Structure formats: structure tokens, C-alpha cells
Amino acid sequence: MAIELHDTLTRTRKTLVPSDGQTYRFYCCGPTVYGPAHIGNFRAFVAQDVLRRVLETDFLAHTAADAPPIVLKHVRNITDVDDKTIRTSQERGETLTAFTQRWTEKFHTDCAALNCLTPDVEPRATAHIPQQVALVENLLAGGFAYVGGDGSVYFKVSACSHYGELSHLDRDQLQTQTENSAGQANDADEYDRESVSDFALWKAHKPEDGDNQWPGPKNPATGESINGRPGWHLECSAMSTAYLGESFDLHGGGVDLCFPHHENEIAQSESASGQRPFCHHWFHNAHLMVEGKKMSKSLGNLYTLEELDAQGYSAQAVRYVLINGHYRSQLNFTFNGLTAAASALAKLEKALKPILDIIGMTPEEFRELCGKPSAMTVTGMFVRAWEHLSDDLNVPGALGDIFSCVGDLNDPSYSKSAIVGQLRSLAGLLYCLGLELYTTPEAPIVEAPEHVIQLAAQRWEAKQSRDFTAADALRAEIQAAGWIVLDRKDGYDLSPA
């Protein structure tokens, strides 16, 4: 079955197929590395990860036997130069390179914890200056750009007839906005650019940029190189073209990037290449709210994975929360929800364990099965879940099906071979969702201290002689020592509190 996904540009659902019939090429806007990414950032990356896993599975399963397999090529950039990276690195007294390198590594660590697959290419903006400069020169030569009053190069929006198509914003309306979303005045300096809508392609060097400058495009008027740095939108156009070509399959990002970022990317890329579409499908995820409010530094609700981990919430639970709301709906992140996610995952593990036992599969074996893409065709009861995933990535619907089916699977009338088949389908689905079960190793058997062992023995004796007052007192004493005693039918277990 084909995967269908909503496309922002056409506002319709479209089937995902590689436009060249061989390689599905997609680009996602990656992080700006000036600090740890927060869970809102990760909603986008996790949503893209699920899409990638679903596509991978679909292509594996539906490539004709005699045809070369359809492969995916996933590119996600690292923005390592912009106002924030420059400013913050200077505040820390670090070079831009060292500073962004550090946060890039942190980003990788977090992605791994969230079980996000690594993109095939992860290009950095500063490593692709020549490509960006070439793009600007191309636009200058084509009459799509000009050098502004401040020496920076701007894109001339009026030269792009279909500008605004993606975000469906009326160009006349754009000019009425006087504040940006941060409540700051749009300090559009009309002396520098011809129109407020025009955006910077290349920013001429300013003293506050320090050493962070590169030889830029040649000023057509003087023939001299404009030293400076790339504008925000430029890198994505240049790097997507470099790795995926002038026209590729899908472009993803948070809904906020729709305008102006992606709109500007389209304008730049299509003007430069003369090719439309720049991209066949636009994939935008809605924002994450925190406890009913927009995340912001001033509200102090920008949670990072590290902070949540410190509070005892696993990255797996975070991932579950992030995917258990449809990607196009706003998701309200709450600690209540995080707890619920952890409980749900634990329930899945518990419910599955006896089923695995029936066929003699260990949890570790099952985890491995879930860890790799399979050419499986989802069959049997789990088909409904796959249909949900195929239908605009309906993860909440699929999860509901998974829970229902796992419950149904615990039926003695199923043969072992039937169970094996069903579990394969389930593993394939869990791979798509990127949910890892049984990651927490069995709690190591810790030997209780001698005095606790003795207390427990005394309590057992008291209990056997039905002296419950003494037994309860001893249990309290054991608990005070940091241990919990749990009775079985024929004895008891001691475990750390």
C-alpha cells in the first residue's frame, strides 16, 4: 500500500513516490547549534524520523522483485552560522567552530537517545560557503538579487511571480506587519533594501561579526568580493541542491519555517535553477506547546532531554509523547502525559512478554527484530495499524491498533507459527515508530545487606505465626533501611526501594 501524506503547498494528500523512480530524496531543516535542542525541536526531528522509517519499510516491501530497490536519501543540515551562533560563541569566548562543534555533538547524543536514525548526509553551512556564494552570484546575474544600501545582497521578491505560494500569504498583507513573533519591531531598514519583503541572501561583514566572515559573491558594480556571511535561507537551498539536485522529493520542517524560510528557499532555488518545483512535497509538523503555553525562554518551559532525564523521564517516554499526537495537530506537552507514556510503554512490554514466552523468543531478540527495517508486508491483525501509518502518518491511530491487537494476541487459540507471523508485523510497526522496548536491562540482582536479610527473615517468621503487628513493624524497619519486601505465595522478595 502506498504512503499518503498531506502536502502543505497543494493542501492535498499525495502519494509518496520517488520522482526519479529510484531514490526518494528528502531534505529536513536541521538545528541551529547554539545550545541544546529542546523537545519542541525534537518533535520535528522525531516526526521526520517516523516518516523516514515508514517510507523505508514501504519501499522495501513494495519494490518489485526484479527491480532495483528504491532507496532513501535523507539530508539534514546543521546551521552553524547565524546571529545566535556568532553572538553566543563570542559571549563564551569560543571560536565559532569549536562552539558549534560542541553543540552539534550534543545534538547527536540527544538524537541517538531518542532513537532517531542518522541522516545520510548532514551538511554544515560553513562547509558549503562556495556553493552558497555561487547561488548568490547566479541570482545576481539573473536579475533576482541586488546589492543593498548596506552592501548586503538581497533577494528581490518582486522578481518571483509565485512568491507566497507555499504559505498562502497575501504579499500585500506581509508589509503591514510591524512586529515579529518575538514582539520585536521588524527593523526593516528600507534604506538598505528596495522592499520590506526582500530578504538577505548574503550579509556584508559587520564589526560585531568578528572573525566570522568569508569571501562572498562579487559585487557586479565593483567586481569586488563582498566579505560576510550567508543569510538564513541560503544554506538550505545550496545544500539541498548540492546533495539532492535542483528538484527533489520532499522537504520537511516545523510549521513556523513555512514562512518565511521555506518560501524564501523556493524563491531562491527556483529563480536560480529555472526549475519547478524545487521540491515536490512539503511536510510541516505543528508546534509543541508546554502545559498549554507556547514554549519560550521567558516562561522557562523550554525543556531539554537532559533536564527530563534528570527528572527520571526516559528518552523513550519522550519519544512516545512526541509521536502520540498527530503531527499536524498542536501537541500539548505535559508531565502528566509523560508519565502516561512511560506507563503505556511498560504496559506494552508486560503484555508482550507472555506472548514472547510462548514462542520462546527473549525480549532481547524481539528488541533486535524491532531495530531493523524489514521487507515485511504487514499482515494479519496488524494491518489496521499499518493502514493508519500509511494514511498521513496517523501514529495515534496506529498505536491504538497496536494496543488492541497485542491484547487480542494473547489468545490460546493462536498457533505458534501464527504468533511468530504476527510478532514480525508488530516488530515492523515498532521499527516504523522507532519505539524500543525492553531497553532497560533487568534490574541487577542486588544482595541486601545482612541485617536487612535478617529483618526480612524475622518478619517472615512473625507473619507465619500470624503476629502481624510485629510483621508490619519489621516491614517498616526494612523500608527505613531502603528495602521493600514483597510477599509471594510461598515466600518473599527483597528489592531496593
Q: Which residues are annotated as a binding site for Zn(2+)?
A: 29, 236, 261, 265
18 lies in the site for RNA, by CB under 7 A: no
Spatial distance between the Cα atoms of 35 and 305, rounded to a whole number of angstroms: 12
Minimal distance, residue 67 CB to RNA, in Å? 32
83 lies in the site for RNA, by CB under 7 A: yes
Minimal distance, residue 79 CB to RNA, in Å? 8
408 lies in the site for RNA, by CB under 7 A: no
Spatial distance between the Cα atoms of 361 and 203, rounded to a whole number of angstroms: 59
CA dihedral in degrees (53, 58, 61, 64; nearest 10)? -130
Minimal distance, residue 360 CB to RNA, in Å? 19
Residue type, 330: Q
Among 16, 44, 139, 266, binds RNA (CB under 7 A): 44
Spatial distance between the Cα atoms of 135 and 144, rounded to a whole number of angstroms: 11
Minimal distance, residue 339 CB to RNA, in Å? 6
Q: Which is nearer to RNA, 231 or 373 (CB)?
A: 231
Spatial distance between the Cα atoms of 351 and 332, rounded to a whole number of angstroms: 28
Q: Which is nearer to RNA, 79 or 247 (CB)?
A: 79
The DSSP line for 10-57 is: TTEEEE---TTSSEEEEEE---B-SSPPBHHHHHHHHHHHHHHHHHHH
- What does the DSSP 8-state code read for residue 258? I
Q: Which is nearer to RNA, 133 or 395 (CB)?
A: 395
- Within 348-407, which residues bind RNA (CB under 7 A)? 350-351, 388, 391, 394, 396-397, 399-401, 403-404, 407
440 lies in the site for RNA, by CB under 7 A: no
Minimal distance, residue 167 CB to RNA, in Å? 7
**H or E element, residue 281:** strand 279-285
- Within 140-159, which residues bind RNA (CB under 7 A)? 157
166 lies in the site for RNA, by CB under 7 A: no
With contacts defined by CB under 7 A, how many residues of the chain interact with RNA? 89
Long-range contacts of 189-195 (CB under 8 A, 24+ apart): 189/149, 189/150, 191/149, 191/150, 192/148, 192/149, 192/150, 192/152, 192/154, 193/148, 193/149, 193/154, 194/146, 194/148, 194/154, 194/156, 194/158, 195/156, 195/157, 195/158
330 lies in the site for RNA, by CB under 7 A: yes
Minimal distance, residue 21 CB to RNA, in Å? 29
- Binding site membership for ATP: which residues? 297
Among 64, 67, 182, 497, binds RNA (CB under 7 A): 182
106 lies in the site for RNA, by CB under 7 A: no
271 lies in the site for RNA, by CB under 7 A: no
Interface mask (CB under 7 A) for RNA, residues 453-472, using x and -?
----------x----x--xx
Q: Which is nearer to RNA, 70 or 266 (CB)?
A: 266
Residue type, 231: G
Among 334, 374, 377, 439, binds RNA (CB under 7 A): 334
Minimal distance, residue 68 CB to RNA, in Å? 33
- Within 210-239, which residues bind RNA (CB under 7 A)? 231-232
Could you tell me which stretch among 29-37, 129-137, 304-312, 434-442 binds RNA (CB under 7 A)? 29-37
Minimal distance, residue 33 CB to RNA, in Å? 9
* 293, 315, 384, 402, 412 from 407: Cα distances, Å: 36, 25, 15, 9, 12
- What does the DSSP 8-state code read for residue 199? E
Instruction: Tell which residue, 11, 77, 2, 1, has the closest CA to residue 283.
Output: 11
Spatial distance between the Cα atoms of 471 and 477, rounded to a whole number of angstroms: 10
